[in-house]
Amino acid sequence: MLLVKYLREHTKEAIEGLSKRKLDAEGLIKDAINADDERIKLQQEKDEVLSESNQISSKIGDLYSKGEKDEAEKLKTESKVLKEKAGVLEESFTNAEARLKDILMNIPNIPHGDVPAGKGDEDNEIFKEAQNMPDNIEGVPHWELAEEYNLIDFELGSKITGAGFPVYLGQGAKLQRALINFFLDSAVKEGYTEIEPPLMVNEESAFATGQLPDKEGQMYHVPVDNLYLIPTAEVPLTNLYRNVILNEDQFPIKLTGYTPCFRREAGSYGKDVKGLNRIHQFDKVEIVQIQHPNESYKILDEMRDYVENLLQQLELPYRILKLCGGDLGTASAFTYDMEVYSGAQEKWLEVSSISNFESYQANRLKLRFKDKESKKTQLAHTLNGSALALPRIVASLLENNQSKEGIKVPKVLHNYTNFDMILKSNS
């Protein structure tokens, strides 16, 4: 959520910035400012009435203690009238506040100056081209390999749960565990604190990081307890700091966590959902940082470099995209996407999204810090990234590393898997 104050003082920049999302925000911003004017007016009226009523009440107290009951009784009726008036104003005020919030919720974050304008993924900019594209891979897609080597059973998953809930078997399961451990160990080495969070969150948390109300249909919901299965560890990890005022010297806050992620993926179909390309439950290691606003873009680059390094260690062909305005998530001001090449499908698969939300999420979270110089509290910046999401990494590993002898496991994982080749005989 953006601050109205910002929209007031930087109306032109806001409209310009949002136009990169191909969004004409002029009307929305005007509405927000009008709603805010109304809110301010009502608060002033309300406070005035309350102030008067408070004064009378304390006068009544005085009169009673002096024994002047008749005077006191007279004031009581007066106070009652004021109280009713305040009640009405209070209600209008609450409504005005809600209206304002409603409008603000519908305004996405303002893209950073370097974000290219554009409508959708066709307008994303290639930030870094692939360096190590594989020679023509003669091979089969990963879902066939998964079956051939008995690594993943999609049908068993369908039987016990439903489509999009794969069962990993034998070396396939081991490979999962190896990747998770490799990612977590790397993040910890990089200074991130490992967290194991709950896999379900309450409504408040889902609101604070922005999954609600926009993405309600994308989350699994447990109605008896009104809890949501997390679509990413970002939700619990970032919410750890909901309603917190930090001291400046607590920066930087760096968190990592492995969790399964649950996504309904309503509306997805066709080739995109084949095999591991898009599934309802998948494993991911997430990195989150909470930072001083002055540092956040430097940090974003560091996070990008960190994730890039992971891909290099996995010896996968990858490229880095800078998302255009239209492809940017609602809460993000700047996002890099990492894609790995899937040799047999001959397409790019997104495996990480690294974003700076600036203060957009922090505003919803009420995540602030005390500025040392001004001694005022201000909103912190939040950032996060996948480091990394497993299924598409696995898809790419299997497809790119297949050969007649078996599927080669990248060196960096050998200590974790205890095997360097995936073989049919091992399954």
Give the number of other CB atoms < 10 A from CB of residue 150.
15
Q: If binding is defined by CB under 7 A, does position 95 make contact with RNA?
A: no
Cβ proximity to RNA: between 47 and 305 the closer is 47
Q: If binding is defined by CB under 7 A, does position 198 make contact with RNA?
A: no
Interface segment toward RNA; rule CB under 7 A; list 77-85, 149-157, 228-236, 405-413: 77-85
Cβ proximity to RNA: between 23 and 50 the closer is 50
366-385 residues in contact with RNA (CB under 7 A) are 368, 370, 377
Distance CA 195, CA 255 (A): 7
Classify burial at 267, counting beta carbons within 10 Å of its beta carbon; exposed 0-12, middle 13-18, buried 19 or more: exposed
| Unique residue bearing structure tokens 């495996």 | 351
- The residue count for binding RNA (CB under 7 A) is 27
Q: Which of 34, 54, 132, 415 binds RNA (CB under 7 A)?
A: 54
Q: Which of 13, 27, 44, 426 binds RNA (CB under 7 A)?
A: 44
Q: If binding is defined by CB under 7 A, does position 102 make contact with RNA?
A: no
- Tokens at 251, concatenated: 């920066």
Provide the mask over 237-256, with x wherever binding to RNA is found by CB under 7 A and - wherever it is not: --------x-----------
Q: Which of 10, 30, 83, 274 binds RNA (CB under 7 A)?
A: 83
| Unique residue bearing structure tokens 């909470």 | 290
Instruction: From 320, 325, 372, 380, select the one nearest 350 (Cα to Cα).
Output: 320
Q: Is the dihedral of CA 316, 319, 322, 326 positive or negative?
A: negative
Q: Decide if 419 contacts 171 (C-beta within 8 A).
A: yes
Cβ proximity to RNA: between 61 and 191 the closer is 61
Q: If binding is defined by CB under 7 A, does position 363 make contact with RNA?
A: no
Cβ proximity to RNA: between 56 and 212 the closer is 56
Classify burial at 374, counting beta carbons within 10 Å of its beta carbon; exposed 0-12, middle 13-18, buried 19 or more: exposed
Distance CA 411, CA 68 (A): 90
Binding footprint of RNA on the chain (CB under 7 A): 36, 40, 43-44, 46-48, 50-51, 53-58, 60-61, 64-65, 76, 79-80, 83, 245, 368, 370, 377
